[in-house]
Structure 1
Amino acid sequence: MDAAASLALPDAPISPASIAHLLATNSAPEGLESRIASAHLAELEKQAAFLESVMVACADRHADVLRSIRDHKSILSPVRRLPNELLVEIFMVVVRDTYGFDDNVPRPWSQPPWTLARVCRRWTAVALGTSLLWSRVVLHLDLIGLGQGAVTMTELLHQRSGSAPLTVEIHDDRDRETHNVLNAAFTHCERWKHVQLSGLFLSTMNPPIPQIARIHGRLPALTTLKIHAELKDDADILAEFRDIFAVAPNLTAVDAWFHDEDGFLCRPPFGFPWRQLTTLSISFARSEEALPIFPQLSTIVDLRVQVKWADPFPTQNPITLPHLRMLELYSQRAMKPPGYLSLLSCLTAPLLEHLGVHDEADEECILRFITQSGCKLRSFHFFESSMISSEVVLSLVHEMPCLRHLKVSHLDNASDPQPVLLIIQAIHSHWLAVRSTSGVSARLSVCIADNNRPTVDPEVSSLMQKDGLFVEIVRGVWQFDSLVDAKFA
């Protein structure tokens, strides 16, 4: 039916003939004309009220039609045609992006995956039918409170995740002895695959949360462990807690970073299955504390060692790490005491490709390590709080013919930009010689931190890029970006 035909509108208003002539004059109506005009005016007002009500109804109907259009368009939405398998992948990405490490999620039930199960029946079925979607257990003990709700939520996560491996994050910044939700969390520790523990306060006077002892010997699926904590004193923690991570047959990656109340690095109070690890980032108070561990790292591929300071220790025969590809050494304090030794003096790594040194070794030790190892470095990061000689950098680069990425900081003569430009020219010449010898069209990227931040001539920069040399000069001091720690992100 035509939409116009369904509306019975009154005829257009026509003025009565007896008073029509008055509309074109200023004459006053007589008695009869006045009564006719009043009656006609009342009729017009009646029609106006009627039309106004029709317009309101039409506006309401128009809004209804627009809503119906929108609703019916949703029927044709591509989202409805997504197969469940693709919908699951989207859900997984949303959940992963919601819970990042150190993110504060005070009300997790108002976040995915909980919200995904409340959209429609299909989404509910897909969400509840995907066990991996519920396999991430994030517990911020300071935020969730001590109520029963957190326990119920954790138990429901375990139920919905079925037998899927669990990713567990427990964050606690308070000095507490227990938390009721941990009983629920530790009940399923056999399914833990990736674990992050942060902010825990440990000491002999206040051992780690007592419930954590329950996981000892019950970590068959654990592959990755990240634990960052503050030690209240330098004493060993109680024996019942020391070996809780030592029995984990599939654990291959450990990031263990400990510090005291003043922020200085400490040795780990826990033991780990060293001989099976392939990735390790670990802290110590003194370099010597790392020595007993090195011989046990027979399968290590990526290693980062952080020490409070480099200190003297007895010389010993170098330990060969046959599979090591990535090594980073970091000293928290730049000052080196007389007679100190770098941990590089204790190691050889024939397959090493990346070396990062932060205030832990000088150029002589680095060169000796490269020579003894016979490794072909492709990446080298060198940071010194004191000034680095340009000649030192060049001597190091000359011993790295396979180098493809170089980062250096704190070159000498900080008040004069010329040394930076000269070293870039020298690296360019060296790079041309390397390319002509190897016959390979490779690339070398160089990042230099300098307070003056001198500018490389655009034409020179363009020429170097054609030769495969890409140079970046940044102001100040770049942060020591850890490639090993990035593997735990």
Structure 2
Amino acid sequence: MSRCSECGALSTGSPPTGETFDVSVAPGSRHHALLTSNEPPEESESAFIQSVVSKTDAPLARLDEQISRLRGQLKQLEDKYALVIGYRTRNRAILSPLRRIPPEILREIFSWTVPSIRDALIRGSFDMHQSPWVLTRICSRWREVSISTPSLWSRVAIDYPQSLYNSSTYSFPLLEAQLKRSQKLSIHFYGANELDSSSQTRMFQLLAQHSSRWEELSIGLTSETWPLLSALRDRLPSLTRLWIQWTGPESQSGVNSIDCFQTASSLIDFGVFNQHRFIPIPLPLSQLTRYQLDCSWEQHKRILKETRSLLEARIYIDFDEEDWPDSDETIDVLHLQRLYVSDADSRLMGQDIQRFSHFSVLFSIAPRVPFGGSASFPPAAYPTVEILQNSPSITELVIVNDDNAMAEINTLMAALTVSNLPGSTAVAPHLSLMFFGCDEENYIHYPAYVEMLQSRWKAENCALRTAALLVADGPRPDFATLRDLHTLRQEGLDLLLLNGGEARDAMEFWDYRTRWG
């Protein structure tokens, strides 16, 4: 091993040929003083330093030549290395367990890679870098499996409003390819009045050619697209779920009704967000198991009377300016399991709950009653207590606190707290599940919440087994509250505590909104 006299590098081979260059400078010399300080040279010294600099040109040129030669050799070695390692990698791939995965397992794995409806709509295009498109570009086997798996291609998500914020567009040829690869179809099509209607119309008409394969349709209608629905009449034999909304009040201009879904023989789940004004939509009511609608109470009453298999109803009273009339009428919805009631302008303030207290579904059938869920409808404590007291089959209570309901909820918790006084009885002892949630910037009185749970947990005649406290925003439970809740959990209470985004997601799940994809 030797050291290069020019650059000082160690070498295991022969030293470079040619003249050596001595870079040492004697300590104490004038040259050494100039190298180790910022002192300017005198005029006579400048000529000497320039001569020293000139002497480095030749050795530097030789070193550059040697470096270039070595770089060339290194490049050759790197190319050979890449060739060999690539060869090894290809051979090792022959032994990969992926080659032994059956196609049905691959299909299951591929199904988990498909983006959610929300992500697909936000993307605003058919993205070749995302599943399922990207699966066709990995290898021939993956391409064959993905193309032959119709479920990967069944979801069509087109959201033109998203195109207002990016330059992506929806490709007509790609949509044709996707429709050919699919069998049953889940269509999510949202138009935009602000964009060119011709491309939107063309895309929807292509989708409509395959309407016999539609199982789900979620659509945002514009003034240009709603007339296209008439072509769907008697062409929706497989449609089971339907959601309709409007892009703005101008979209509803001239619309008197939409009557193409009445003959959809498989339709069981229907929802519409009219928002601007009520649009009649005739439906096969007798077969519905779920519906969500904002309309007058008279319209809801007609639907409830005509449904035979209704399991869930979300009732919005947005187009009824009059209070509900007094009546002892009973509407039997024998299979109803979930009921949501909302009053958009708070004019009834719980009269809707009182009205439903006359319904047999709340007396003897419904196992869960959600109250609240929007700032417009604070739960009325006393009607709620009356319903719970008179309906022993209601075993689950879900309360979501909004901006206006804090006093009502605290009153409700006080009513549900079992008194220690002799002879006291519990209100609604049959409740086995009690969920309380705080949305936005508000809070539940935590000591009152803990006292309610403790009293019901220790009461002999109470059925409480499961409880939840969810806090999305606002003050979180203090140490004393958490300590007491932890004690209840140790004693056997099934207790769920969540905050932030997890709490908000859980409360949305309580809200019984239909979920797509």
TMscore range, shorter length: 0.7 to 0.9
Amino acid at match of 2:488: M
The 1:47/1:294 distance shift into structure 2, 3 A limit, reads closer
Tell me the secondary structure at the aligned position of residue 342 of structure 2: strand
Q: 1:133: how far off? A: 2.4
- The one of 144, 151, 155 aligned to 2:176: 155
C-alpha separation in 2, matches of 1:192 and 1:395: 49
> Is contact 1:230-1:259 (8 Å) kept?
no
Instruction: Give the structure 1 partner of residue 267 of structure 2.
Output: 251
Q: 1:391: how far off? A: 3.6
> Is contact 1:194-1:225 (8 Å) kept?
yes
Instruction: Give the structure 1 partner of residue 435 of structure 2.
Output: 406
When you count strand as a share of all residues, which structure comes out higher?
Answer: 1
Q: 1:214: how far off? A: 0.8
Q: 1:60: how far off? A: 2.5
C-alpha separation in 2, matches of 1:431 and 1:408: 19
Q: 1:219: how far off? A: 0.9
Amino acid at match of 2:233: H
Are 1:224 and 2:248 counterparts?
A: no
Are 1:429 and 2:455 counterparts?
A: yes
Tell me the secondary structure at the aligned position of residue 295 of structure 1: helix
Tell me the secondary structure at the aligned position of residue 405 of structure 1: strand
**CA deviation string 1:359-412 (max 9, x = no partner):** 1652333344445554323232254524215343343572252331322559xx
Tell me the secondary structure at the aligned position of residue 291 of structure 1: helix
**CA deviation string 1:334-359 (max 9, x = no partner):** 35479877552453312212211221
Instruction: Give the structure 2 partner of residue 211 of structure 1.
Output: 228
The 1:337/1:142 distance shift into structure 2, 3 A limit, reads closer
TM-score normalised over the length of structure 1:
0.74
Instruction: Give the structure 2 partner of residue 390 of structure 1.
Output: 410
Task: Please say which of residues 449-458 and 310-319 is displaced more in the overlay.
Answer: 449-458
Amino acid at match of 1:222: L
> Is contact 1:306-1:331 (8 Å) kept?
yes
C-alpha separation in 2, matches of 1:54 and 1:108: 43
Query: What is the 5 A alignment of 1:293-372?
Result: 293-308=303-318, 311-316=322-327, 317-336=329-348, 343-345=355-357, 347-349=359-361, 350-358=364-372, 359=377, 362-370=380-388
Q: Which runs of 5+ in 2 are unaligned?
A: 1-11, 20-62, 418-426
Q: 1:63: how far off? A: 2.8
Identity across matched positions, percent: 19
Query: What is the 5 A alignment of 1:272-283?
Result: 272-283=283-294
Q: 1:182: how far off? A: 1.7
C-alpha separation in 2, matches of 1:140 and 1:378: 38
Are 1:466 and 2:490 counterparts?
A: yes
Amino acid at match of 2:458: L
Instruction: Give the structure 1 partner of residue 97 of structure 2.
Output: 78
**CA deviation string 1:89-138 (max 9, x = no partner):** 12222225477464333234453322222222212221222222222222
The 1:259/1:180 distance shift into structure 2, 3 A limit, reads same
Aligned Cα RMSD in Å? 4.2
Amino acid at match of 1:331: D
The 1:354/1:80 distance shift into structure 2, 3 A limit, reads same
Task: Please say which of residues 66-75 and 311-320 is displaced more in the overlay.
Answer: 66-75
Q: 1:228: how far off? A: 2.5
C-alpha separation in 2, matches of 1:225 and 1:134: 19
Q: 1:211: how far off? A: 2.0
Query: What is the 5 A alignment of 1:105-116?
Result: 105-116=124-135
Q: Which runs of 5+ in 1 are unaligned?
A: 1-9, 20-43, 261-265
Instruction: Give the structure 2 partner of residue 442 of structure 1.
Output: 465
Amino acid at match of 1:228: Q
Q: 1:220: how far off? A: 0.7
Amino acid at match of 1:296: E
Q: 1:256: how far off? A: 1.7
Tell me the secondary structure at the aligned position of residue 95 of structure 1: coil
Amino acid at match of 1:388: E
C-alpha separation in 2, matches of 1:45 and 1:139: 60
Instruction: Give the structure 1 partner of residue 302 of structure 2.
Output: 292
The 1:53/1:432 distance shift into structure 2, 3 A limit, reads same
Tell me the secondary structure at the aligned position of residue 286 of structure 2: helix
The 1:118/1:52 distance shift into structure 2, 3 A limit, reads closer
C-alpha separation in 2, matches of 1:295 and 1:407: 32
Instruction: Give the structure 1 partner of residue 148 of structure 2.
Output: 129
Equivalent residue pairs, number: 433
> Is contact 2:456-2:464 (8 Å) kept?
no
Tell me the secondary structure at the aligned position of residue 103 of structure 1: helix
Tell me the secondary structure at the aligned position of residue 465 of structure 1: helix
Tell me the secondary structure at the aligned position of residue 292 of structure 1: helix
> Is contact 1:356-1:381 (8 Å) kept?
yes
> Is contact 2:114-2:152 (8 Å) kept?
yes
Amino acid at match of 1:218: R
Q: 1:190: how far off? A: 0.8
Q: 1:312: how far off? A: 0.5
The 1:329/1:456 distance shift into structure 2, 3 A limit, reads farther
Are 1:182 and 2:204 counterparts?
A: yes
Task: Please say which of residues 323-332 and 382-391 is displaced more in the overlay.
Answer: 382-391
**CA deviation string 1:229-249 (max 9, x = no partner):** 24527989645x521122211
**CA deviation string 1:196-236 (max 9, x = no partner):** 113x23xxxx4743222111121110111122224527989
> Is contact 1:275-1:299 (8 Å) kept?
yes
The 1:396/1:318 distance shift into structure 2, 3 A limit, reads farther
Instruction: Give the structure 1 partner of residue 113 of structure 2.
Output: 94
Tell me the secondary structure at the aligned position of residue 144 of structure 2: helix
Instruction: Give the structure 1 partner of residue 217 of structure 2.
Output: 195
Task: Please say which of residues 298-307 and 340-349 is displaced more in the overlay.
Answer: 340-349
> Is contact 2:246-2:274 (8 Å) kept?
yes
Task: Please say which of residues 60-69 and 219-228 is displaced more in the overlay.
Answer: 60-69
Task: Please say which of residues 458-467 and 270-279 is displaced more in the overlay.
Answer: 458-467
Instruction: Give the structure 1 partner of residue 446 of structure 2.
Output: 420
Q: 1:194: how far off? A: 1.4
C-alpha separation in 2, matches of 1:338 and 1:73: 70
Query: What is the 5 A alignment of 1:18-29?
Result: none
C-alpha separation in 2, matches of 1:340 and 1:49: 87
> Is contact 1:302-1:326 (8 Å) kept?
yes
> Is contact 1:441-1:468 (8 Å) kept?
no
Tell me the secondary structure at the aligned position of residue 431 of structure 2: coil
C-alpha separation in 2, matches of 1:409 and 1:14: 79
Tell me the secondary structure at the aligned position of residue 323 of structure 2: coil
TM-score normalised over the length of structure 2:
0.70
Amino acid at match of 2:412: V
Instruction: Give the structure 2 partner of residue 104 of structure 1.
Output: 123
